[in-house]
């Protein structure tokens, strides 16, 4: 099969699968998740290259993958809808010290993950010190602490 077609199919399949898998917060990445990602990479590589180990094949694939990535970023810039589809949207998960439980459950993020992020990023001690916690598009959790006067 043509490497351009193979590259395109793999690109869109992977982006769809990662979308479906959902964004686990980056703070949650365990050693096992890392190994899993490596295995996924290895598996994909076999299908991408086939039994064609030529430089031409590799170049064509790289050009395809980078090309699609650039085109997608240009498209995302023009269309907010596409941007949402590809990157998702940020989600507020803690508001004024109150965890929004329904959202956390659906996003499969635990309160302890938020507290971990709060400790690591802001040195906070308790949930009530958090003004906002946002599950970002990247999968990380960002924390906005309450200003000193209000704690």
Partner 1 sequence: MADVKRVGDLEIAEDLPYQQRLWAFQRVSWVVMALIAMGSLLGLFGEGRLSDRTKGDQQNLLWLEYEQFGRYHSTTQLNIHLTPIVSTQQSAQIWISRRYLKGMQVQAIVPEPHQVVANADYLTYYFKVTNSQQPLTVTIDLQTNHIGHIAGEVGRPNQQPLQFHQFIYP
Distance CA 151, CA 8 (A): 52
Choice from 95, 122, 127, 139 touching partner 1 (CB under 8 A): 95
Sheet bearing 91-95, strands edge to edge: 98-99, 91-95, 130-135, 141-145
CB of 6 to partner 1, least distance (A): 9
* Of 15-23, 30-38, 52-60, 62-70: span binding partner 1 (CB under 8 A): 15-23
CA dihedral 111, 116, 122, 127 (to 10 degrees): 30
Q: Does 24 bind partner 1 (CB under 8 A)?
A: no
User: In the numeric block, which tokens belong to residue 61?
Assistant: 């694939």
**Residues contacting residue 89 through CB under 8 Å, at least 6 positions apart:** 137
CB of 106 to partner 1, least distance (A): 5
Q: Does 14 bind partner 1 (CB under 8 A)?
A: no
Distance CA 15, CA 21 (A): 10
CB of 119 to partner 1, least distance (A): 21
Number of residues that bind partner 1 (CB under 8 A): 23
For partner 1, the binding residues (CB under 8 A) are: 1, 19-20, 22, 50-51, 77, 80, 83-84, 88-92, 95-96, 106-107, 131-132, 134, 144
């Amino acid at each position: 099969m043509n490497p351009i077609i193979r590259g395109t199919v793999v690109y869109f399949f992977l982006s769809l699968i990662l979308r479906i898998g959902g964004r686990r917060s980056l703070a949650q990445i365990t050693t096992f998740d890392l190994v899993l990602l490596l295995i996924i990479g290895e598996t994909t590589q076999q299908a991408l290259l086939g039994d064609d180990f030529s430089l031409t094949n590799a170049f064509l694939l790289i050009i395809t993958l980078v090309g699609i990535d650039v085109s997608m970023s240009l498209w995302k810039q023009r269309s907010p809808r596409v941007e949402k589809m590809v990157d998702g949207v940020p989600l507020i998960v803690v508001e004024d010290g109150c965890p929004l439980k329904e959202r956390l459950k659906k996003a499969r993020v635990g309160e302890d993950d938020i507290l971990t992020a709060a400790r690591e990023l802001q040195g906070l001690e308790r949930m009530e010190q958090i003004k906002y916690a946002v599950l970002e598009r990247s999968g990380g959790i960002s924390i906005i602490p309450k200003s000193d006067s209000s704690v």
